[in-house]
Structure 1
Amino acid sequence: MAQTIYHAANTRGKADLGWLKSYHSFSFGDYYNPERMNFGALRVLNDDTVDGGKGFGEHPHDNMEIISIPLKGGLKHLDSMDNEAVISDGDIQVMSAGTGIFHQEHNDDQHDAVQFLQIWVYPNVLNVEPRYDQLTLNKADRHNKLQQVLSPNKDDAGVWIYQNAWFHLGDFDKGLNTEYQLKAKGNGVYVFVLSGSIKIDGQILNTRDGFGIWDTDKFNIEVLEDAEFLLMEVPMTF
């Protein structure tokens, strides 16, 4: 029988620095909840809004797979590997921090806020050479179907990371159903609803709710209202 966990949107941790408003699905920064440290290899899921012209100064990372998915606006990225880029709504960015990198991120617009998801996944290989990649996705490929945006495979759809993980985005119309088949035994899926309403295993999920499901090889998603959502399949032990 499938195991599940439900995280209502209003139970997330919150940070408000004025220029940054961030909601934490798992313990991060000053938010600490021993019952919400991670979901398997998924360590961080932050829902960030950054004011115009503001951003994160240079800071280090190591031995973590860091994924950014902009939801609105553009985020300018600079790092110690001499990468300089802007990622915007419709893009996905990945950094394998490996032996260590420094980077900084700023809102590319001086006026309007940028919204993005910051996701950290524990890697299955340590101390790799740091790397950076980004990809512009075709949003039409997720309309009423699941669009793969991340995998462990360099030649597969989407970006890739050092972990046995797969991410999919969906943008579904009300009244439709879809089934997700897990890719690897021992994995689970953390579902994050970007907008709308869906139901999984009897649990109704609304905007910004999170839901983990494991000990199953597939599950059905019922779309109650037009909905966009992110599926993050990760190993439950690593």
Structure 2
Amino acid sequence: MQYVRKATERGKVDLGWLQSQHSFSFGHYYDPKHMGVSALRVINQDQVQPGKGFETHGHKDMEIISYVIEGALEHTDSTGNRYIVPAGDIQLMSAGSGIMHSEFNASKVDPVRFLQIWIQPNVRGISPGYQQQKISQQGQLTPLITPDGRDGTLSIHQDAVVSRLILAEGDTVSLATAQRQGYLHLVAGKLSEAQHSFAAGDAFALGPNEEVTLQADEAIEALWFDLP
């Protein structure tokens, strides 16, 4: 296990309407020890107050994923898309040659919590695109995003797979990288392995040819990134 990222050590932003925790360097938060893993560049855990959100702004040449943990996001973009993204849905916006969009809490009463994830694409200047899907869990590890959109997953412009890991208390799972890299971000619950314990918001990376066996000390939800 080459890299461990504890939730309590993340960069923090509090704007009143937004509380955000940055796993990697982002915006005004910069730490050269935390610049991303492989093509994975951003994981921000955001909480947005009712009726508030990110005004229209632009992105280019980035694959941007929203994973809603609680509540719902309202998405609008310059290609004409306007969607509500509820908890349980996975959203992927390919910024490509350039796109303008906004994200607001869809509720006037309850906060929304979500992960904003950026993955660098392996092509540039493509036409912008938008995908959204609810994908049912199939076993412990269920692919959500793949390079070819197989089996109803969303398709990403990168040799990467994003999967959701669900374990009941006491379950174990082994994760291995072969010739690739891996990153696990714990959304909820508690995990442990031989040398480390992990709580919600914690994460770790595996380098090539590494394997780890994890036990759920309580029911967990996590995202596993299989990266080039």
Q: What interval of TM-score do these two structures reach, taking the shorter chain for normalisation?
A: over 0.9
Question: CA RMSD, aligned part only?
Answer: 1.5
The corresponding residue for 1:76 is: 74
- Provide the secondary structure at the position in 1 that maps to 2:166: strand
**Which of 202, 206, 213 lines up with 1:220 in the alignment?**
213
Query: In structure 2, how many angstroms separate the alpha carbons of the residues matched to 1:81 and 1:31?
Result: 31
TM-score for both structures, normalised by structure 2: 0.95
Tell me the TM-score normalised to structure 1 length. 0.91
Which residue of the partner structure matches residue 23 of structure 2? 25
Which residue number in structure 2 is paired with residue 92 of structure 1? 90
Which of these residues, 177, 181, 186, is aligned with residue 188 of structure 1?
A: 181
Equivalent positions of 1:6-155 (< 5 A) are 6-138=4-136, 141=137, 145-155=140-150
> Using the alignment, how far apart are the partners of 1:176 and 1:154 within structure 2?
29
The separation in 2 between residues aligned to 1:125 and 1:202, in whole angstroms, is 38
For structure 2, the residue ranges without an aligned partner over 5 or more in a row are none
Q: Which runs of 5+ in 1 are unaligned?
A: none
Runs of 4+ with >3 A deviation: none
The alpha carbon displacement at 1:233 in A equals 1.6
Q: Does 1:179 align with 2:174?
A: yes
Equivalent residue letter for 1:22: S
> Match of 1:202?
195
Question: For the Cα contact (< 8 Å) 2:144–2:162, is it kept in 1?
Answer: yes
Q: How far did 1:38 drift? A: 1.0
Distance in 2, Cα, partners of 1:135 & 1:95: 12
Give 1:180 deviation, angstroms. Answer: 2.8
* Alpha-carbon offset, residue 201 of structure 1: 5.6
Query: Quick one: distance in 1 between partners of 2:222 and 2:195?
Result: 17
